Structure 1
């Protein structure tokens, strides 16, 4: 088993009339007691003796079945862990321990497939982020997603459904929705009725314009890559126009956002006119990809942007790698798959197999010199409110994190713990997957005063 995580998912996971009911996760308690401490723990991914004063609760997030095939291959998986908490006058601290037989931090790396390098295409490709199946349900390729975890909180008790549904209070799958793709651009100009369709996708957004949920997002490959990345990504969810926009073809009312961005007062120029948001500075996991033309004039293909030659699966490229010259920029790709780098050197993936998969095609390793799919950029501003350090022990994860009881947030995007009132929350785990995840809702944080 692997990784941890909370109740969000890039795009999915719920619903029976908006939400889905999951099996009993089997927790020994649903109440997490945060104990007062005069000495703060060191956030370093190791367990200080003072954590012995904090009571553990057992959690077993379980992968639900939304009923639309979204979580095929993962449904029913359970990820066992424990959670503890302490607080002082300034901060709240958490210690999460999760059983995980494999450390999954090499996220969808680039490799070269010579059989796919045909006319007008390139053999450069990324490993899948989730288990891949054929039409008969046979596993084609194991997953190369990231071990992750998350927590969700009800900001100012603004989301009424959160008390009973926690993470499911904002999870929507379009079942059914109105499909205008076969008609014209909008219902006002349609000449034939839309069709009613089901979709295997969905979004997170709250159920009212004044509802907001705080979402803490911990990506363990990113966090453990470098000390400058020892942060959870602080996000939030809002209404984003709601179901009237989302449940239509072309709609994009995804209410999941990074902290610091807000609606900019405009809407998209195409129907159904979703709200636009301001833009966050580049940070977090940034795609290490670009499009270049084969031989400079041919078809446009996706290839890596930066490469650390002969790095041996570096997992992530750091910003310092690009500024120091350790990483080289890819400036050209040939029809044979040869990459030309910024220093004039080349990588020919057909010489030897260092950039190719070897061994078992289904469960075997990726290329020896696979290229990172992401650049790890340090978080800043409101996204950097939560300090986090993690250690993989060989059998699981030790994860410590802290956040101020009350942040400097003025946009109502963070939960405020300063009153020491009880707070309902949910937890989720991703086990080597970027989408499918186990969920445990209906937990309560209480402060021992």
Structure 2
């Protein structure tokens, strides 16, 4: 069953009044058969006109959603403060309960997480300029320390924790993941992606795609991609992706604004097994086409922003094999999970690692770190579920988002038992590249929601949600 979603919902109200009016006239003419005949002709003509009007090209036909999947955005004159504290005004907004569930794509992408659920509630408000959201969900652990560096006493090498759970060949868990809590929302930009109407999140997730791998000679047929990269199914199709990293973005009260596009289409992405990635940060655009395999489009580059890996390669003792070590550290700091980009500037708190010995000793201008003394730089506690020493180093360097990536304001508070996340975005941004969904028309909008729990790739998905605006 479908509903015709008019650009302005008052058309439905007028249609209802119109039908009631005709019914009243019809009843009053019941005794006059001749006039009743002319009335029926009039009714058919006007109904046909109304039907043509309600199906004109500037309208969007969407599948109706169950009330449990429909989020009604409350019209407010008192906008909430985006600080992670729940203002009283939120009590006027009706919440919906969702249960993002980790699927089994059939290619081992989500192994060890399949079937996990992350129940959450979601509320929304809007005013003349912004739309606001409040997301709440239980989480027994605050996971913000992403891939920290530790010293492996067995190999005498520095290493980073895995961002997802690792398993041995028998499927036994060998190490808990040190990934990040985060969430995302997907939106259909200008209703450009037809599959989004029925599939929402899954409209661009091509984990099942079979392909021919032309990177080898002769080419080899592969059953599926083995990865979860996103791309749409047509050159004009785009999806808006709001992506909140609850360790790095919220340091600056931000949420990362991305988009997804065609990436050259299945004709390209199938050749590389789905590794053709249509997910990009806002602000970059196609700049040309590669002349060599896999012939995917090339894109402009973005300004340095967001998070970058705190990693470099140095030779052991200056002349030996190359190994990975931290790039920047803050000497003697404890329990820190990020380094600000500003800390790496002259006069900042961070120092650059310039050397590593065969025993793991790190050198920097003015000092050194010996990880063999004590356990501050080593894994601590249980081998599978344990953490890391108090002075282990962060895995990334953080800087604020700029330009189109900075359209969304976000604040997240971990309560000890879960997350309270508030975020807002302009109903219509300053975007001119068709990389943002335009909500200013207050049309019904389908969307999907995803939640990650201490993982890099693996996430629960809640598709087929519908946003409606209270008038």
Query: How high is the TM-score relative to the length of structure 1?
Result: 0.88
**d(CA) in 2 for partners of 1:179, 1:272:** 10
Among 342, 347, 361, the residue aligned to 1:338: 361
Match of 1:127 in 2: 161
- Residue 39 of structure 1 and its aligned partner are, at CA, apart by 1.2
1:309 deviates by 1.7
Output the CA distance in 1 between the equivalents of 2:208 and 2:139: 33
Is the counterpart of residue 147 in structure 1 residue 181 in structure 2? yes
Structure 1 portions without partners, runs of 5+ = 1-26, 118-122, 184-191
Q: TM-score, normalised by structure 2?
A: 0.84
What is residue 214 of structure 2 aligned with on the other side? Answer: 180
Q: 1:298-313 counterparts in 2 under 5 A? A: 298-313=320-335
Aligned match for 1:242, one of 246, 265, 268: 265
Q: Which residue of structure 1 aligns with residue 226 of structure 2?
A: 200
SS at match of 2:91: helix
Question: For 2:433, which of 407, 411, 415 is the aligned residue?
Answer: 411
What is the CA-CA distance between 1:233 and the residue it aligns to?
0.3
The structure having more radius of gyration, on CA atoms, is 2
Number of residues paired by the alignment? 405
Counterpart mapping for 1:1-400 below 5 A? 29-117=68-156, 123-173=157-207, 175-183=209-217, 192=218, 194-224=220-250, 226=251, 229-249=252-272, 252-265=275-288, 267-323=289-345, 324-341=347-364, 343-400=365-422
Tell me how far 1:253 sits from its aligned partner: 2.2
Contact 1:106 1:313 in 2 (8 A): no
| Distance (Å, rounded) in 2 between the aligned partners of 1:198 and 1:397 | 35
d(CA) in 1 for partners of 2:315 and 2:297?
34
Which structure 2 residue ranges, 5 or more long, are not aligned?
1-65
Q: Which moved more, 1:290-299 or 1:381-390?
A: 290-299
Instruction: Give the aligned CA root-mean-square deviation in angstroms.
Output: 1.5
| TM-fit CA distance, 1:291 | 1.1
Against the structure 1 CA distance between its residues 195 and 30, is the aligned structure 2 distance closer, same or farther, given a 3 Å change threshold?
closer
- 1:180 and 1:222 map into 2 onto residues whose CA distance is 38
Change (3 A) 1:155 1:198: closer
- Give every structure 1 segment of 4 or more consecutive aligned residues whose post-TM-superposition deviation is greater than 6 Å: none
Q: In the TM superposition, what is the alpha-carbon distance from 1:243 to its structure 2 partner?
A: 1.2
- CA–CA separation in structure 2 for the residues paired with 1:376 and 1:274: 30
Provide the C-alpha distance between the structure 1 equivalents of 2:94 and 2:274, rounded to a whole number of angstroms.
45
Distance 1:61 1:197, change over 3 A: closer
For 2:16, the equivalent position in structure 1 comes to none
Instruction: Report the Cα distance in structure 2 between the residues aligned to 1:233 and 1:242, rounded to whole angstroms.
Output: 24
CA 1:193–1:347 in 2, change beyond 3 Å: closer, same or farther?
A: closer
Structure with the higher fraction of residues in helix conformation:
2
Deviation (angstroms), 1:111: 0.5
> What is residue 14 of structure 1 aligned with on the other side?
none
Q: Tell me: higher relative CO, structure 1 or 2? Use CA pairs within 8 A at least 6 residues apart.
A: 1
Q: Is the 8 A contact 2:328 2:351 kept in 1?
A: yes
Distance 1:410 1:82, change over 3 A: same
**Aligned-partner Cα distance in 1 for 2:74–2:381:** 50
